[in-house]
Chain A
């Protein structure tokens, strides 16, 4: 009986966390982006993914600016807000390094292929990671209490 009560309490404690969680909009992964652009020939597919990457750069830049702006208005002691801003900047730099290394590795999975395969993999990977990072930044800062 005691075990049932404890389990019920534990479950009840979890429910508010789920219900309060920000709705996460699924971001396309790199394969989904390749599928989307697969409506074209290989040359066209590469152009399509290059456009998707350019769009993802814009989306990421916008999310970074919004996150920085949210931290500027955060209803928190200046010391902690400054610390969060500095860490946002540092994580942005580390993200860029990780993205480039990860996508370089993923591109290498084209092996000895010819043509656009390497670039198709690199572009889709970078676009997907940018979009994922942009979503993370939005999610992380969307519920900050503002001044």
Chain B
């Protein structure tokens, strides 16, 4: 019961601080860098199924919720990805969770642990990329190779679709599609196949909202994260943004 009262007070205290920040000369400090990065991601991902362009103002609001200009890390890690104890950056840079599909080609190889931790624009790029990676729905699917030619292979004793697919640079799904009647393999049987591989692909996107950012980017560490983000976003939208060269 003793913990009920401070909850409101602390959120109100934070709200007061962020409302004052609107008049801060640093309020628009990262606007152009954010816009540039968001535009790059939007261009790169626009062709994926169900992608809705990311709103750069949401990222600006995130920067203020994550650090804010009064924090010393505003000039190095404004989105806080890569701070000590954060597993997020290493999973983003490892490409194990789909970041290779998210990151625009021009940024591949440019982001490193060191650069994300010290160069604010790199931190912003990594933060946005990580957020998008967490919003994407991925699946492993058969992706045809650029070579459209249909090849043939003769089944040997002990073969299976998996074994043949592996040996021929194809996938069991491709073999099944091209040989619908080959339910049981017989030695001497001729199967058709195309070159293909199983790859991670983006199949859709979660709808990006303050609650979703709190859940997928913040991980519920701050119980007031979504409220903070919504409040800051309303301030960002009502204030004047700087004009940036495109």
Contacts and interface: CB of A to CB of B under 8 A. Distances in A.
Interface string A69-89: 000000000000000000000
Given A115-B88, A116-B86, A34 B221 contact: yes
A12 B83 CA distance: 58
Nearest to B74: A43
Interface in A1-52: 26, 28-29, 31-32, 34-46
A144 B114 CA distance: 56
B200 interface: no
Q: Please classify how large the interface on chain A is, using the bins under 10, 10 to 19, 20 to 34, 35 or more.
A: 20 to 34
Nearest to B224: A38
B221 to A, nearest CB: 3
Contacts of B89: 114
Interface string B191-234: 00000000000000000000000001111111111000000000
Contact of A36 (B10, B67, B91, B225): B10
Contacts of A43: 66-68, 71, 73, 77, 80, 83
A110 B127 CA distance: 16
Contacts of A113: 88, 216-221
A121 B221 contact: yes
Contacts of A114: 79-81, 86, 88-89, 92, 127, 130-131, 134, 217, 219
Nearest to B88: A114
B13 interface: yes
B187 interface: no
Given A109-B220, A110-B221, A115-B79, A36 B6 contact: yes
Contacts of A28: 2-3
A39 B65 CA distance: 11
Nearest to B6: A36
A22 to B, nearest CB: 17
A119 interface: yes
B222 A42 contact: yes
Given A38-B222, A45-B222, A115 B71 contact: no
A36 B9 CA distance: 9
A109 B220 CA distance: 8
6 contacts: A35-B223, A38-B11, A43-B71, A112-B219, A115-B217, A115-B221
Given A28-B2, A121-B221, 6 more contacts: A32-B6, A34-B221, A43-B77, A109-B220, A112-B134, A114-B79
